Amino acid sequence: MKLHGYFRSSAAWRVRIALNLKGLDVEHVSHHLRHGGQRDPAYLALNPQGLVPTLALDDGTVLTQSLAIIEWLDETHPQPALLPKDPIARAKVRAFAQAIACDTHPVQNLKVLNRLRELGHDGAVALAWAADVNIDGLSACEQLAAKNSGPFCFGSEPGLADICLVPQLGNARRFKVDVTKFPRLLQAEAAAMELAAFRDAVPDRQADAE
């Protein structure tokens, strides 16, 4: 399999964690987002959204959207499970993951920040926007996770919620958010970073890191 990504992409980072937890090896193909690699026609033929990640399977199947890719990985490689079996617990984990992946990350991604600059806002305004969006999303996640026992977001094993949380905390720090406001999330992150699957997925450890 080939994972099309970029070291700093938090959506690709989620998939890297999931692959590591499942013990799966892939070839990494980097697309330099700041140089517009995601809009290269050859890449757009794979992923018409011009976003990373994309997972290309050995049989030619192409999967896009990190949550869809991770759920496919979980269905085809069930151990260790990334979602609980109980339907209510699954819905809660998905809600946490979507609070990050659907409602927080998309409004602070590169495309949105570039658009703010094109509309005449200076870099500081774009960064303040990104920080505010992270504070909103992570504040809600802090409350969602606080309802559960730890150390991970939903109990004693890592799962989809932690996979989304750790890269988003990385984004929040990049946008200078004071993450000490989120002690329950930091507890889950600390537990995750005890695991090689999470440590090996961090941007700085990727071959395309700058």
Ligand X SMILES: N[C@@H](CCC(=O)N[C@@H](CS)C(=O)NCC(=O)O)C(=O)O
- 1 half-sphere exposure, CB direction, 13 A CA radius: 19
Min CB(137)–ligand X separation in Å: 14
Looking at beta carbons only, is 74 or 184 nearer to ligand X? 74
62-64/2-5 β-pairing: unpaired
- Residue tagged 């997925």 (tokens): 201
Measured from the CB atom, is 40 or 142 closer to ligand X?
Answer: 40
Q: Is 63 helix (H, G, I), strand (E, B) or coil?
A: strand
Give, as ranges, the residues between 80 and 109 that touch ligand X (CB under 6 A).
Answer: 101, 106, 109
Residues in contact with ligand X, total (CB under 6 A)?
Answer: 16
User: Residue 51 burial (CB < 10 Å; 0-12/13-18/19+)?
Assistant: buried
Pick 34 or 176: Cβ nearer ligand X: 34
Of the candidates 111, 173, 181, 205, which one interacts with ligand X according to CB under 6 A? 111
Both tokens assigned to 96: 């946490």
Least distance CB 178 / ligand X (angstroms): 22
Which of 26, 89, 95, 110 is close enough to bind ligand X by CB under 6 A? 110
Residue closer to ligand X by CB (options 39, 181) is 39
Instruction: Write down the least CB distance from residue 104 to ligand X, Å.
Output: 11
Q: Which of residues 22-61 bind ligand X (CB under 6 A)?
A: 33, 38, 51-53
Strands (E), the chain: 2-5, 27-30, 54-56, 62-64
The gap between the terminal CA atoms of the chain, to the nearest Å, is 24
Cis peptide before 151 (omega within 30 of 0): yes
User: Which residues, at least 6 apart from 176, have a Cβ–Cβ distance to it below 8 Å?
Assistant: 127, 131
Q: Which residue has the tokens 């600059």?
A: 117
Nearer CB in complex with ligand X: 109/187: 109
Residue nearest to ligand X (CB): 111
66 touches ligand X by CB under 6 A: yes
Binding region for ligand X (CB under 6 A): 9-11, 33, 38, 51-53, 65-67, 101, 106, 109-111
